[in-house]
Structure 1
Amino acid sequence: MTQHFGQHFLQIPGPSTVPDRVLRAISMPVIDHRGPEFADLAQTVLTGIKRIFRTRHPVLIFPGSGTGAWESAVVNLLAAGDTVLTVETGHFASQWRALTQKWGIEADHIPGNWRNWADPEAIRARLAADTDHKIKAVMVVHNETSTGVVSPIKAIREAIDAEGHPALLLVDAISSLGALPYEHDGWGADVTITSSQKGLMLPPGLSFIALSPRAIEAAENGGSVRSYWDWREMLAFNKTGYFPYTPATNLLYGLREVIMLLEEEGLDNVFARLDRLAAATRAAVKAWNLEILCENEAAHSSVLTAVIMPEGHDSDAFRHHVLSKYNLSLGQGLGRVKGRVFRIGHLGQCNELTLMATLSGIEMGLRNLQIPHAQGGLQAAMSLL
């Protein structure tokens, strides 16, 4: 095993590095989750997380992963035999669709090439053809973590409304909340799901579900058999600052600290910082004469940049090399782009020097393995910054 010294550069697109302040908060003593001290903590984070989602409506917090949040949306709103509209923007959009089908739900699917966003006009055309309103929900990934592609959620809501279609809009914001502009209320989402380990800079273990009044009503009147993920029970308990079962108490201490961190910097300032880092990364990749997976300039993500390896070179071998030699972790290619793509994460507490160190490790790795590339990537990024 390679012996490493110094800082490990965790530059995957989540889990992201946890800030020291958050780690210290998580290390607080465990408290009674039925006592008044916990109720105060819960009310603080349940109120604060609404500001991050930019919503006036309830946000539920479950102990679980993003996959659990997917399932919660499915079982509370849909039943076997229902139909949803899904859009293929990458690996995670495909996984959400597959989970839905396991519950016996039909997926009317819009295929994609993993290099572009969910097209509002294509969604509108499918809904226009659905004259019987069989489609109960439109399911879209906001930031596709496998590809670095961001979809226009507000425009998709407008496309649904333009057809007068009653479908609910379910949005996966797992890797975008706290890292990209997102407006749960303003963009008309009915359900927005996220998890703790991406833009919220916590360890894995919490999932979040923001609801609209329409979604709450739909969960009251429909859905599947449910227990752990039942929104109705969680909503009832949360009113008094408690949970229907044991919550992840110490992660909630960390969440309180994260909300403070994001609001101290200011969400708009966070987004601007990550925009700059993403632009610098793309400048470096283009200067290296490598190809970015996302081919739509308007859809580039500020969470990550997915880079296509030159023909004949394996991205996993490259990732293994920079990890073993420079203690730098890059994201792997998933699904159909496995072995063809590596992903550079620039989210969370990443700053200019962190990014420049990351790009240095990448450029040294390209040289070491004699992967075809041009010189000047570091200088291009530095000039932009």
Structure 2
Amino acid sequence: MTSQEALSEDEIESGWVGGEAPKLNTTVTLVDYDPEWPAQFEREAERIRGALGERVLVLEHVGSTSVPGLCAKPCVDILLEVPDSDDEDAYLPALEAAGYQLVIREPDWEKHRCFKGPDTNINLHVYSPGNGQTPRYRLFRDRLRSHPEELALYATTKRELGAKEWKYIQQYADAKTAVVEEILARARAEQYDGYSEAYASHAEKSVTNALYDRPAIVDLAGDVEGLSVLDVGCAAGHLSALLAGRGADVLGVDASAGMVEVARRKFGDVARFEVVDVTGPLPLPDASIDVVTASVVLHYLKDWTATLAEFRRVLKPGGRLVFSVHHPGEDWRWFEKDDYFQLELLEDDFGLDGKPHPVRFYRRPLSWTFQAVRDAGFAVDRLVEPMPVPEAADVDPKWTVKLRTEPRFLYFRAVSPS
């Protein structure tokens, strides 16, 4: 259930250590939840800690066997973080001496290694600090543990896919990506409910939001008087209200019920707001919208295909899509990543009111974004790296200098062909 792109057969083989990757060539064996699985994890965890000592930074039970009541392959998944998983000399000999065998090496993807256990069927996944998979494993596991309906959905999907024949077990894992992403999207939206009030206050005054992002979106949207506008990922409704103030008929949608509640309270007199999961079908008829805006929201989605297709469906011929995302150069530089061209899940701390709030999003190269928009049938009309409005310097001179000299967000205007 990683964020890795589906692997080709050549990629599966190239990552395997010491020969050919084992072939399944049959269906996947799934068994009912075994209450012994947590004990198996604890036994392995004790052995791993004994082998590595202080080199163990994170050691957790993840995957389906960590979720009570969930069917699973009888194989315990374990997440291990060491100081540098690329530095195999620092931990590989100790693990091998304890009976573990390195079977997968993927240095170009999250510095990932995978080991099999000495006497128990396990997958020991090894990463370095700051990887994108640790928060993903935790969020997915905890979501299934606390939401029976999500557990049931995932279990049903697993059994349906498990009944099919697969050449490699990795292909079965890749086939589950769609439902995993669907569940994770709901989990992330729910996280925002808990700090919607704090975010609304921040977004109202933040130079980045109020004097940089929203003016750029409004400028690219152009004259919207008398037009229907769909504001996707509307959050607390500030952009929706600006567009309504320019004469547009605005519907703001957001996956977070907490955000929508705040938006209705603050701006419900000028715009309509609904809770909508933008990864699924939009509750709108074909060709019913003149302008779609999506301010700093699409980078939370791994795959844009279905979302952009829905934007294209609801837009009238000649309608405009205006959106902003994290600037690819900024994410690459800020997180000190080696490979600019990789699609990668990142985690950052978006602190509000002095409290930490982890946020997870995807970085990707500019070419990926441009191609996704083109593949969806849009014609890219403008690509903009804007400056903050002049009054930003009076509000926060230091931050304004950063916005004027370092890339922050990237803006697209695309047109649905007539």
Is TM-score (shorter-chain normalized) higher than 0.5? Answer: no
Bigger Rg, which one: 2
TM, length-normalised to structure 2: 0.26
Structure 1 or 2: larger strand share? 2
> Whose RCO is larger (CA < 8 A, sep 6+)?
1
TM, length-normalised to structure 1: 0.28
